[in-house]
Every structure is written in C-alpha cells, then in structure tokens.
Structure 1
Amino acid sequence: MHNALFLKNKLFIALSVTLGAFPGISLAMQAPLSDIEHLEVAGQRPGDHQQLGSAERLLGKQGVDFSAAGGMAALPVLNGMMGDRIKILVDGADVSAACANQMNPPLSYVSASQIRSVSVVAGVSPVSLGGDNIAGVIKVSSLVPRFGQSDSVQWEQGSLSAGWRSISHSQTYSASASASSKDLSFEYRGAFEDAESYRDGHGNRVTDTLFRAQNHSWLAAWQDEGQTLALKLTHQYIPFEGFANQYMDMTDNKGYGAQLNYDRKLASEGEFSAQLNWHLVQHKMGFFSDEKPGKMPMETEGSDYSYQLAWRLPESDGDVWLWGHEFFNQRLDDTWPAVPGSMMMGPMDYVNIQDGLRRRVALYGEWQHNFSPRWWLSSGVRFEYVTTNTGEVQPYSRMPVMGMPNPDAAAASTFNSSYRKQSDALLDATVLARYQGGDNWQLELGLARKNRAPNLYERYSWGRGVMASTMVGWFGDGNGYVGDINLRPETAHTLSLAYSYAGEDMQLGAAAWYSDIRDYIDVEVIGSFSRGGTDGSRNLLQFTNLDARLYGANLYVNYRLSEGQSGRWSVEAEATALRGERKDGSEPLYQIKPLETRLALAHRLGDWQTALEWQWVATKDEVDSRRLENTTDSYSLLNLESRITWQSLTLTLALNNLLGHYYQLPLGGVSVADYRNNKDAGFAPLAGAGRSLELSASYRF
C-alpha cells in the first residue's frame, strides 16, 4: 500500500480489519472512488520479509479472531463465523480443506513471510470479490510480479530471516530472492518452522501443540506493453502437527499447486484478466507423539481445479462495470485403512467419502457510480449454481461388534440407498453507499444478501458410531458429528453502518452490523455417549438448518499525544462486542467471542518502533449447550514489542503475556489431548500461551 493512502485511511483499515467484524467498511474507505475493485488492505508493506510464522500471527495482529487448532491450521473467525463461511483466497485461488477436521485450511499453505498484502472484508463484500460465503472474504497476496528497468535479467533483492520463541522453543526461518528485467520477473519465497508444545501461564505444557512445517513458492512472469503472463508453483510439507482439541493428529500433509495468470489492457482503460488454478492435497491423520498416543490411520486426497474470467470496463461518465465468470471443481476421497488385528477398526477399510464432488459455476455483474463528489454507490448481483455428489461408502465391518448392533453398518446401508446428488442455486446481491461529509469524516451504509452451500462433510458424513462420528468436525469440542444429505444453503441478510473521523491528531471510528441468517447450518442433539472417566460425556450431533442472528459493534480511537525530538507518541483504544444466537429460543451460538478491549501506547523514533499493549477479554458465559461448550474466565494480557532497523538489518524483540497470566481460550474448544492422558480431568478448555520471549532478525540484500 502506498504510504499516502495508508496514512489517509489508517482509521478505516483499523475498523475494517482489526476485528474482522464490520461488513463493507474496508471497501469504500480504502479505494479511490472509481477504482474499488483494486482494494487492498495491507497486512504488511509490500515485500516485507520481517513477519515470521503462520499467517494466523499476521492476521491476528490485524485483529482477525481464530478458532484454535494446530500451529499452522487455526480457522479465522469473522463476524462470529468461521470455517467455510469465510471465503479465503490465496493469490486468487480457492483452496478447499481436504480433511474431516479441516486440518489443512487455505491459510495453512502460506506463511507470514510469504505474504505481500491482505484484504479483509467482513459481511458486506462486493460480489466481484467472491461468492459461496456469508461471513466475508480474506484475500492473501503472496507473489506479485515486479519488473525492473534493464533489458537483461538482473538481481533485484533477497532476504534471510530467523526467529525464536521461548514458550515453545520454536525456530522459524524464511528466505526470498528475486531477479527481473523490463519484461521478465522471477521470485522465490520459502519458510520453515519447528515448534515444541507451548506452555501455559502456570508453566505447564499444553499437550500436543507441537508441529513442523515448510512452505515454498516460485513465480515466473513475462510482460509487454499491454499484457502480463505469470506462472506460480507452490509446495507444502508438514510431516507432523499436533491438534490438542481433536481426537487425531496430522501425520503428513503434502500440497502441490500451480497457477497461471493472464492480464490484458483493453481499450478505454479497460482490463481483462484470466486465472487458472490447480491444487492437490495428500493428507494423513493418525498419532505421532506420546503426548497423545493411539493407532488409527486416516488418509485423504483432495484436488481443486478452478478458473476465473473478469472484465473491468470503465465508461466515459466515470462509471465502472465489472463482469465475471468463475468455475470451481473440488474432488475428495477420504478413507480410513483397516488396522490389522483390531476388532473395532477392520477387517475392511472405512470409506468416509468416495469420489466426493463439489462444483460451482458463477456469473456476476457489478456497477460503481459517483453521483457527486460526496456520494458514491456500488451494487452488484452474483449467481452461483452448486452441485455436490458422492459415491457409496462402507464401514469397517458389517458384523455386530462385541455382540452389540453395529450402528455404522446400518448407517452405511441407509446412506448407500439414498439419492445423494444435490444442487443449489445461490443469488447474492450487495449495495454499498458512502457519503463524504467533509475532508475528515465519512459515513457508510452496506446491505447484502449472501449465500453458502453446505460442504461435503456437512452433507455426506454418515457414520453413527462413537469412534466414526468423533473423527468428523472442525469445532474442537470433542463431540461426534453426522451429516445430512438434505441440508439447505445458508442465506444471510446483513446491514452495516460505519462512521469515521480522521483529524490531525485524532482518528475516531464507530461501526455496527446485524446479520439475519436463514437456514444457518448448526446442529441438533441426536444422542449422547461417554468417552470414560469421571466426566467424559459428549453429544452426538447432526448438522441441521435453523435460523440465527449475529450482531456486533466496535469503537476505535487513535490519538497522537506528542511529536518532536523525542519521537512520536500515540495511544490507541478499541472495544468490540459481539453476539450470536439461535432465533428460536435465543440460545447462544458456538464460539462467540466475549467483549474485548485493547489499549496501546506506541512510540516511534526514526527507525525504532515500540508498542506496549494491554488486552482485556471478558468472561465467556454465553455458551452453546448443544455442544457442551465451556465457560471461560475473564483475563488480561500485557504485551511489549520493539523493532529497530539499521540499514538492511531489522531486529525485533517481543515479550508476550509479560506478566505470565494463566488463561483459557474462549475460542479454543476443549483439550482432548489432556483428557486422553487423564480422563478424570474431563474436557477442560484449552489454555493459552504463558510468558514468551520472542527474538527475530531479518537481513535484506
């Protein structure tokens, strides 16, 4: 992002990205009046190599909430909604999670050091940014072609970075290199991280949170005066990753991707772009550590193929038309190999999903218009046709188990005799209006109707036994999940309102939003079971449609205290409240974050930046009884970070949770790993990280 645009819209970035909770704000506030489709909210400066670790850490600093999972696989939360309700695009590619626990979500395939910029638009997102979502869109850009001025290919720049965290003894490394000429561009970015299980505020190990991961990406691009062609290749390898709030761990994940982009200038400043994407995932689950022992292999292979065609056509009166066509195709096979000699897991392979198919075809049109220097409007319509299907399945055995009826055998027979092909027609519509009241304040209104069709696991998970059903679910709650072939798509109607003021010394913003969701995919209790111990009770849940509402508000203030020879001193304050409930009976929805406030004192002197931040999260007492969600106590954290740049070297020192407070994660689910090691402890909430010293160094050459 250009510095001028960043400074002018700093408040608007904070409102739209900080908590990912306020629909539509980032669109109108970030883009030039007639050029909104090029919106980017920078998560870091273009080409910044200093961020290390998972993309979660970068987006977390932007304020996006996360539902805890593995070290590379936490699921982002916008407007109180997570998982597939958020459209996540990595360099424009739509990557599906190929796992019954969503252990390999889209953001796991890109590390923070690879990210050039992020765009977070919650709720009322334009139809041109993507469909099949009701919570919003997160766009991540990693490799963007950059061309030089010379006729021959010359070295541009490179970087090396390394970091260490005391709380998990993690080691993180990244590297990048680029070369270019006037018409050719080449770039590589890679990252590696190895971490032990972290420790909580009492100094105890948070069991089964260790992991090791590496991501690599390569880019080659060519351009002439009117067009650009780029090829991107990616590879990921995660040999192991612990999931404390799941019954299984990830024992291998290999991802391979290819992307071809073509951009061409048209007459009258128009543009045409085409993109072709392919991604293959080979995924295994099981057990690899004595922190959570066991034996049960699970193997999944998934592939995504998609293309996008887009036209940007400005008109002489300043209006802009955006037209597009998109196609997405997901294939999935999920098989659990038999364990030799096991009475429960054999003698046949358990086939969870066979030849699973999810296909989307989309058309959209969007119009942007300036009514006057003060009034701006964007409106669009998007139509998608979604089809899903899957083949026949089989249980481990069709015989009774230890003289008892085999629920999976009966469920497989019922599933195989069912008509499984489903189709859904989705119609999205969005209107965004902005009023520029003066040089320093704006008012924005957003309205949207958005839809999301069920994913393959929500529709086709069929097992009814305790072991089979508890292998499905990305919620970290220890319950068992069963799909429903006849699930209907979710339809959300969202209203948002935002006010912002940006003066010389102070920036102020307030925003509120409300979403009414018809056919929200939630759960109903169809049984219960006990995993053993003093309190091992869990529920058997089936995905179902019901009506829900979610709403929230945010207040943000940034005030410059002073600026002079001692540097620039400023203070930031923010508060966010969120509520989600089922409309029938007003029962709370799952994993709704309680009230959160933040107060930070920041100082900058030349290339030296320091920030002291205090974060307070209220008691979580609005919990989902169907999922047996735990309450969590209120807590506060004090974090200190200081960064200094000298020529090409940047050094960072951070102390997180400076006072070493113990706290439990309100969006962390339960610690299945601790329960497996001590069943009398029950399903306790997952604990957060204790005091941690973090050091990193980055060198650009």
Structure 2
Amino acid sequence: MAYIKRIQHTYLLSPLALLISGFLSPVVLADDNDLEVIEVHGHTQNKHLSLGSSEAMLGHLGVDFSAAGGVSNLPILNGLMGDRVKVFVDGADLTAACANQMNPPLSYISANQVAAYKVVAGVSPVSAGGDNIAGVISVNSISPQYSETSELAWHSGYVSAKYSSVDNGRKLGVGARIASDTLSFDYQGAFSDANSYEDGKGNKVLDTLYRAQNHSLTGAIRDEKQQLVVKLTHQKIPFQGFANQYMDMTDNTSYGAIAQYKRSFESSELQGQVNWHSVKHEMGFFSKEKTGMMPMKTDAKDISTQLKWRLTLDKNSSLLLGQEYYNYRIDDWWPAIEGSTMMGPNDYININNGKRERIALFAEYESQINNKLWLNTGVRVERVNTQVDEVQAYNDGMSMMDMGSMSTMTTANNALAANDFNNADRDKTDTLVDVNVLANYQITLYDELQLGLARKNRAPNLYERYSWGVSNMASTMIGWYGDANGYIGNPNLNAETAHTISATYSKTAKDDAWRVSANVWYTDINDYIDANIVRNFNSYGLANTTRNILQFTNVDATLYGAKLDISKSLYQSKQFGEWLLKANVTSTRGKRDDTNQPLYQIKPLHTELTLSQQIGVFENTLSWEWVDSKSRVDVNRLENQTSSYNLVNLSSKTTFNALTLSAEVTNLFDVFYELPLGGVSIAALKQNNSAGFTQLSGQGRSFNISASYAF
C-alpha cells in the first residue's frame, strides 16, 4: 500500500471524516482499475513565516481552542477539550504538568518549527493513539534533510520575524542546517514577546501578556535501510498571564530528548521511539494587571517508549502491531508563606509523588479490498495505573481558632480532608479497550462515502482523581476551564468510554471546479467526567460574584454535530489570476443525559467564507467569519452567554526568491466580541468587581507584518 504524497492543508476539505472527522483522506481514485491509497497530512506552506502558537494552522483543520495564556490555549475537538484530546509533539506524549494545564503539549513547540501536522478527530485508528475520546493532534518538527554529497556542509537556514500591533507582539524564528548524504544536523529557535492585547473597544484585556522561547537541536544519520534521529529540546517561559485563572505562570523551564529509529525490511518496517521530558513549573503573580501572593510549584517528568512493526501481508494489505509504555511522575506543592497564618507553617502538598503509568498493546489491519473499498480496523488494550503518596495541609487548623469561624472551618476542612485522603485507597487501575472500524467506499469517480465506528476510552488524570483540598482557596486552584469555580477531585472516578459513529459524503466536479463534503457524527459517552455542585461562595458579596465549588463526577453524556465544506474555483485568467472560494459551516451540540443540561464550552454554530486570489507571486485573501450567539450554557459552571459576531480579515503575501513578505489586518472593522470559549476574566474582576465575572473578550483590530528570509 503506497503512501504517495502530501497535500497542502489549504486544500483539505474533509474527505474522510471517519478517519479524521473530515480532515484526512486515505483514498483517491485514479481510474477504474488503479486505486492508490494516500495518507494526507497538513503540511505547512511557507512554514517559516508562521511564528508563535500553532493555533492558526490547526484552526484550518477544524480545531477550536479554549482560551488560556498567549501560547497555551487548549485544543477542542468535536466539543471535547483538555486530556480528552491526545496531542503528540514529534511523536512524544507530553502531559500538562499543572493544576490549571498552563503548559499543555502544544505550548512546547512554535509554529515555525512545525514541518508537518495532522488532526484525527472522532473516529481514529487505534495506532493513532490511545487514552483519548476526542481524537489525536500530531505536530512534527523532525524532518531530516540530506544533501547529495558525502561532505558535511552548509545546507539551508532561515530568519523570520513578525510584528502585531494589537499587543505590540514581537516574534522571531531562526533555523540552520548542515548535511551530507548520510548526516543531517538542524537547529531551530523561536522567541515571542507580547503585551496584553486590546479588544474592539480599545480597552486593554488585562493579564494576557507573555514571553516565551523554544529551542531544538536535531541530529540524524541514515543508510539505505535505516535512520536514527536524536532531538534535544529546551523551553523557557519566564512569565505568561492567564486572565481567566486565579494564578499566573511565573516560570516554565523544560528539557527534553527524543530518539527515533526506523528500519525497513523486505516485507516489513520497524519503528521505535524513546521520549524523555522534564519540566519545572511555577505559578504566582508577576504583573500589576493581576496581583496576589501565593507560590505554587510543580516538578514533573514524562518517559515513554513506542514500538511499531508493520507487516506487508500482500500488495493490498498490511498488519500493524504496536507496544507502548508511558510513565508520568509529578510533585505539586505550594510553599508556605513566611509569617502567614493561613498559608503556613507547612508546605501544602497537593500531589505527592504522583504516578500515571500506561502500558498498551494494539493490532491494526488495513486493506484495499478492491478498487472501490478501503478498510481499516484495529483493537487496542491499555492498562492505566495511577498512584499518589500521602499529602498535607498548610496546618492542622488549630492555629486558626482566633481568626473567626469561617477561617477555622475552611482550614480545618483541609486538614480533615488530608487525613481522610491519606487513609483512603490511592492506587487505582483502569483497563481500556479501544476498537475501530473505518471504511471508505468510492461510489463513482466523483462520489465517495465514508463510514466509521469506534469505541474509545480515557482514564482520569491525576488532578481529576486526586485533588483533595476542599476549602475555597484550595479548590479554586484546581481546574483548566477558565470559569473561576473551584474543583475537588474524586478518587472513585471511572474511565470515560465513548462510542462514536461518523459518516461523510463527498462529491467532486468532473473538471475539479468544485467540491462539496458533508460530515455528520454522533458520540455517546458513558462515565463522562463532569462536575456537580458541592456548595457556592461569594468573595465579594455582590449579586454577580457568586461562584461554585464542584466535585468531579461520572455522568453519561451525548455529543453530535455536522460540518459542511465547499470549495469552488470562480475565475482564472492571466490578467486577474486565479480566484478560489471556500466555505464551511460547523454545528456542535453536547448535553448531560441525566439533566439534559448543555456541556461546558461547546462552540455555537459558526461559519467561515474565504475568497483567495493567486496572481503571479502574490497571494491575497479576504475571509469572513460568523459565530452565532451562545445561549446553551453550563449552569453548574455559571457559564456566560455570548452574543453573535462577525470578523473580517484581510491578508497579502508575496515571495521574491528567498524572501517572503506578508501583511495582514485581522478584525478589520475593530469589532468588539466576547470569546464563546474564553471563560471569565478574573483579572478584570480584581481591577473592578462591580461588573462581576465578565466573559473574556477577543482581540481588536491588528496590523501584522512578517518576513522570512531563507538562505
């Protein structure tokens, strides 16, 4: 089975929704007797011009994002976010080592470093990754390039820069490569610095400033049958504001190493990978835009191994066997504040020697059954074990007796909760069984139908299961939802089990002048990890400043949605160039089965229309995005409703030999809008509590210029 080319993400229009819910297509019909299979990846075009977060490029493949920090937004697939989306960076499964998930996997790589990427949403092959129910995002910077001579010499390099006016953002990317016909060495670096951005009313959106840098050094060696790649990484984020969290990031320092080995045999291929990633993470306060005094620290390590062996059964079929091992360790503690009666004299130990260990085996069969039908099916079995050691509160509560009944109650509750937690069973094991069936049927040369079924599972993360603090202060430090509520863990949580069905019909014009693709999907989730209200609290005593304390719990939930993609070639001439129109409409719904209450952070109906022109060395684009009002909200989390809005963006790009220049205006008409997936602004509340918990607003008009020079 041949994987014969890559397709630019600009032209992806959801040909295989069951494999990736509309973003990847493994089948293209060449003629009635010759059917070739293609694995489609997103591949960056003029990639060095892209700087900062990879959010923009993944957005083209249907990924939404829950607002967090400037480089740490959390991806959402089919209405599911957080750990329900499995994210691989260069094949490594990195864990967000933070009670607020401030350092998610995508924050460890900059867009200019990404060589290829793909999104597998909904129904995915078992080989794509386990321990998820939403899908898989994979970004890859490892792409060794070799020269044609045996001498190790200069190969290529680049320098890229970008400026954005809305946040005075400055971004820089650099890369350099030396190579021979058997050796390749590559360095890539990225630097970002931005102030807090302004909204459409010209007001500063407080606490959205950040600074970050990422570095990678990759070495590769090959011969005719095998290749070994070793990559070293380093990240430093000295600060990053999180407007919708009670805390900010005051440091994130990480080091990583990846070793990949591939060898081809006469009728098989072996792939192996070893990953190591270590991070030291700190939360606190660094800006006058959101003040406070409370340090929180996290040390964590990810170690994993992956082994895959693909066996060719015949010219049309293959069997992929795999074994994977993941070991995640974390310590999370909040240092005592000297002289503080409330936060001392002990360190608050939130997670002590936490461990999450996964061992997985899978088998996947793939076959081109005939010139019309392609099939992929597989089974994955995974054992997930979680453990933590004993914890402790700031104090035993007795020292608070003279500070009033409220302080005594909350502190004593934490002391009692720590005692109960330490006496409980803290060793849990889940067995996950994933199964998928994917089929693509080519009806005619111009029509295809894709169907997919999957059972997928995800075990609780350590914070969902082991966050033991029950006081207002302790519980509000937990949660990656940006809703200002507090969360208490539940050691008795079950793993989530999702059953998904997906179907896509695609039709292409005989002359390729247009293409239409329609996708529908439905997911039923048993033991969905949601949260129920324990009590409420009100730190400001105003009618609009009430929040809830919730505890993670298992419920059943249902999600479903539809997407329509259209592409149409409008006009082509030497004088006016080639004009292309693209449009898409996406609708997603999600609810709890027990109460019919909407799930949290489900994006409302939205559509995008893009008109592009390619004329000579110039590429011009005008896009219009419309997002409906958000009226279906999660009342348990006190989610805000948001109004509908329209955004217009204009961009132009040109390439002169080695130099690529770009100019764009985002939010051309400076529209004020609130982010439906943005959560609430705690930073704004601290500056002026009379407005209550207002929704985080989006960026106003921005003039952006960028340049990239390759050498």
TM-score (norm 1): 0.96
Aligned to 1:6, what secondary structure does the other structure show?
Answer: coil
Q: CA deviation at 1:24?
A: 6.5
Which deviates more from structure 2 when the two are superposed, residues 400-409 or residues 413-422? 400-409
Say which of 443, 465, 469 aligns to 1:437.
443
CA contact (8 A) 2:13 2:22 kept: no
Within 1, Cα distance between the matches of 2:243 and 2:619?
35
Rounded Cα–Cα distance in structure 1 between residues aligned with 2:585 and 2:648: 16
Quote the residue 1:509 is aligned against. 517
Query: Any idea what SS the aligned residue of 1:49 has?
Result: helix
What's the CA shift string for 1:584-612, capped at 9, x where partnerless? 12110000000001111111112210110
For 2:513, the aligned partner's letter is: D
Residue aligning to 1:422: 428
Determine the C-alpha separation between the residues in 1 that align with 2:495 and 2:241.
32
Query: 1:571, 1:601 within 8 Å by CA — same for their partners in 2?
Result: yes
Structure 1 residues 31 and 389 mapped into 2: Cα distance closer, same or farther (>3 Å)?
A: farther
Q: Aligned with 2:314: secondary structure?
A: coil
Deviation at 1:15, TM superposition (A): 6.0
Look up the SS of the partner of 1:514 in the other structure: strand
Aligned to 2:59: 60
Cα pair distance change 1:284/1:131, threshold 3 Å:
same
CA distance in 2, matches of 1:5, 1:195: 34
C-alpha distance 579-15 of structure 1, shift in aligned 2 (>3 A): farther
* Matched-pair contact (CA < 8 Å) for 1:43–1:62: no
Deviates more, 1:424-433 or 1:366-375: 366-375
- Structure 1 window deviating more from structure 2 (186-195 vs 20-29): it is 20-29
Q: Indicate the larger mover: 650-659 or 432-441.
A: 432-441
SS state of the match for residue 42, structure 2? coil
User: Does the C-alpha gap of structure 1 residues 21 and 373 become closer, same or farther in structure 2, counting only changes over 3 Å?
Assistant: closer
Cα shift at 1:63: 3.2
Instruction: List aligned pairs for 1:282-681, cutoff 5 A.
Output: 282-400=280-398, 401=400, 402-403=403-404, 404-405=408-409, 406-503=412-509, 504-534=512-542, 535-565=544-574, 566-681=576-691
**1:2 CA drift (Å):** 11
Deviation per CA, 1:178-233: give whole Å up to 9, x if none.
Answer: 11111101101110000000000000000000000000111001111111111000
Question: 1:569: Cα distance to partner?
Answer: 0.8
Q: Distance between the aligned counterparts of 1:61 and 1:432, measured in 2? A: 23
Residue 59 (structure 1) shift: 1.5
Q: Shift of the alpha carbon at 1:28?
A: 3.2
Name the SS for the 1:267 alignment partner. coil
Counterpart check, 1:683 vs 2:683: no
Query: What is the alpha-carbon distance in structure 1 between the residues aligned to residue 342 and residue 16 of structure 2?
Result: 50
Aligned to 2:198: 199
2:24 is paired with a residue of what secondary structure? helix
Q: Where does residue 74 of structure 2 map in the other structure?
A: 75
SS, match of residue 96 in structure 1: coil
8 Å contact kept, 1:34–1:319: no
Deviation at 1:502, TM superposition (A): 2.4
Q: Flag the 1:15–1:371 CA change in 2: closer, same or farther, 3 A.
A: closer
> Within 2, Cα distance between the matches of 1:16 and 1:416?
49
1:6 aligns with: 7
2:252 equivalent to 1:243: no
The 1:31–1:222 alpha-carbon spacing in structure 2 relative to 1, beyond 3 Å, is: farther
- What per-residue deviation string (whole Å, max 9, x for no partner) do you get for residues 650-693 of structure 1? 11001000000000000000001011111222101000000000
Amino acid at match of 1:227: Q
Q: Which moved more, 1:394-403 or 1:140-149?
A: 394-403
1:55 and 1:611 mapped to 2: Cα distance? 20
Q: Are the aligned partners of 1:30 and 1:39 in contact in 2 as well (CA < 8 Å)? A: no
- Hey, what's the Cα distance between the residues in 1 that align with 2:205 and 2:443? 51
Distance (Å, rounded) in 1 between the aligned partners of 2:386 and 2:35: 38
Contact kept, 8 Å, 1:530 with 1:538, in 2: the verdict is yes
Flag the 1:191–1:2 CA change in 2: closer, same or farther, 3 A. farther
For the aligned residue pairs, the C-alpha RMSD in angstroms reads 2.0
Q: 1:514: how far off?
A: 0.3
Aligned to 2:200, what secondary structure does the other structure show?
coil
- Note if contact 1:457-1:483 (Cα within 8 Å) is conserved in structure 2: yes
Evaluate the alpha carbon distance shift between residue 4 and residue 507 of structure 1 in structure 2; reply closer, same or farther with a 3 A threshold: farther
Is 1:693 paired with 2:703? yes
1:119 aligns with 2:149: no
Q: Deviation per CA, 1:272-318: give whole Å up to 9, x if none.
A: 01100000010000000000011100000010000000001112252
Q: Give me the whole-angstrom Cα distance separating, in 2, the residues matched to 1:210 and 1:14.
A: 35
Given that 2:19 and 2:438 are in contact with CA atoms closer than 8 Å, whether structure 1 keeps it comes out as no
Offset at 1:58?
A: 2.4
CA-to-partner distance for each residue in 1:478-524, whole Å, 9 max, x for gaps? 00000000100000000000011222210111000000000000001
Shift in Å, 1:43: 4.1
Matched residues in 2 for 1:569 and 1:273: separation? 43
d(CA) in 2 for partners of 1:415, 1:539: 22
CA offset at residue 35 of structure 1? 8.7
Q: Matches of 2:6 and 2:94 in 1, distance apart?
A: 31
- Residue 133 of structure 1 is matched in structure 2 by 132
Distance between the aligned counterparts of 1:2 and 1:393, measured in 2? Answer: 51
Runs ≥4 residues deviating over 4 A: 1-5, 9-17, 29-36
| Deviation at residue 27 of structure 1 after TM alignment | 4.7
Contact preservation (8 Å) 1:23, 1:446: no
- Counterpart of 2:184 in structure 1 is 185
Name the CA distance, whole Å, in 1 between partners of 2:618 and 2:659. Answer: 12
Structure 2 partner of 1:145: 144
What is residue 157 of structure 1 aligned with on the other side?
156
SS at match of 1:315: strand
Residue 3 of structure 2 contacts residue 39 of structure 2 at CA under 8 Å; is this kept in 1? no
Q: How does the TM-score come out when normalised to structure 2?
A: 0.95
CA distance in 2, matches of 1:97, 1:308: 20
CA–CA distance in structure 2, aligned partners of residues 297 and 262 of structure 1: 41
Range that drifts further, 566-575 or 474-483:
566-575
SS of structure 1 residue aligned to 2:47? coil
Matched residue SS, 2:292: coil
Residue type matched to 2:247 in 1?
Answer: M
Contact 1:11 1:507 in 2 (8 A): no
Distance of 1:64 and 1:290 partners within structure 2: 33
Q: Distance in 2 between matches of 1:412 and 1:44?
A: 49
Q: 1:369-390 CA distances to partner (integer Å, 9 max, x unpaired)?
A: 1221001111000000000000
- For residue 97 of structure 1, what is the aligned residue in structure 2? 96
CA contact (8 A) 1:15 1:556 kept: no
Evaluate the alpha carbon distance shift between residue 34 and residue 91 of structure 1 in structure 2; reply closer, same or farther with a 3 A threshold. farther
* Equivalent residue, structure 1, for 2:44: 44
Paired AA for residue 126 in structure 1: P
Contact (CA 8 Å) 1:12, 1:30: kept in 2 or not? Answer: no
CA contact (8 A) 2:177 2:186 kept: yes
For 1:22 and 1:97, the matched residues in 2 are separated by: 24
Question: Structure 1 residues 656 and 29 mapped into 2: Cα distance closer, same or farther (>3 Å)?
Answer: farther
CA distance in 2 between counterparts of 1:30 and 1:140 reads 24
Once the two structures are superposed, what CA deviation does each residue of 1:329-379 show, in whole Å capped at 9, x if it has no partner? 000000000111112111110000000000000000000112210011110
Question: Match of 1:505, as an amino acid?
Answer: A
Verify the 8 A CA contact 1:54 1:111 in the aligned structure 2: yes
Deviation at 1:34, TM superposition (A): 9.3
Give 1:497's aligned amino acid.
A
* 1:620-649 alpha-carbon deviations (Å, 9 max, x no partner): 000000000000000000000110111111
Q: Distance in 2 between matches of 1:424 and 1:271?
A: 31
